[in-house]
Structure 1
């Protein structure tokens, strides 16, 4: 879990740069989110021990990541072309896309505020966050392959 905390700290440094290319920048944020979630998944699945402080740090990193996702800056008109898996549905239903992201952000903030005391509490929170991610991916992401 210490490796997860170190990795999260390093990812925060990488993610702090100003947005230059909306496609690359949003992909970087999503990769960062995936790495953080992957670390939490290892705890949920028993592959890593539950350490309350490290789990809270990871949840806080997810919150910071979600707060950095500036939809207007990262999904401007015309950024649906190129090397991206962002579905056209984003631009067709921007309000819906923003609502899905707002729910995810609210759920991440709730998980941070609840500061899970054990793996069972984390599992419940992680299931909610995973559901949020799945909803977005099913509707607003083009499946690879």
Structure 2
């Protein structure tokens, strides 16, 4: 029993420590998001076979990522975290309401795509194109392009 309590305490501490650096936490979420989107993109482009179960798993993972981001947007973008090793544009802090609106649309579109459980590649393309559009809108306004 002691080992179980110690393990739970360690995990709880590790979970709270992850937010000690909001820049690293939001970068980790975006990298995870990019990896999942990359898997779906391969299916959409015909570079990977369509597998309904695998697509649904990926969409659910994208939804979990979006929900975590949504639930923690305030702690991921606190004042002062706009400087340092980040590509988050100052526009986020200047227009937090606009940033949150785009993020909420993204979350709703990801949830809709996952709930639809696309039956084929064409259905996946429709939802994925909407999600990709959300990403593009956010990146154009709220992200600094690298080099």
Matching residue of 1:43: 43
Counterpart of 1:107 in structure 2 is 109
Output the TM-score relative to the length of structure 2. Answer: 0.87
Aligned alpha-carbon RMSD (Å) = 1.0
1:17 CA displacement: 3.3
Map Cα deviations across residues 63-98 of structure 1 (whole Å, 9 max, x no partner): 000011111010000000100000000000000000
Alignment-derived partner of residue 79 in structure 2 = 77
Cα deviation for residue 57 of structure 1 reads 0.4
What's the offset of the Cα at 1:20?
A: 2.1
Cα deviations by residue, 1:25-58 (Å, 9 ceiling, x for unpaired): 0000000000000000000011110000100000
- Corresponding residue of 2:63: 63
**DSSP 3-state at the match of 1:76:** coil
Q: Deviations over 1:89-138 (max 9, x none)?
A: 00000000000000000000000110000000000111000000000000
Q: 2 CA distance for matches of 1:112 and 1:17?
A: 26
The structure in which a higher percent of residues are helix is: 2
Extract structure 1 runs of 4+ deviating beyond 4 A.
none
TM-score normalised to structure 1 length: 0.88
How many Å separate the matches in 2 of 1:23 and 1:82? 8
Distance in 2 between residues matched to 1:107 and 1:140, nearest whole Å = 19
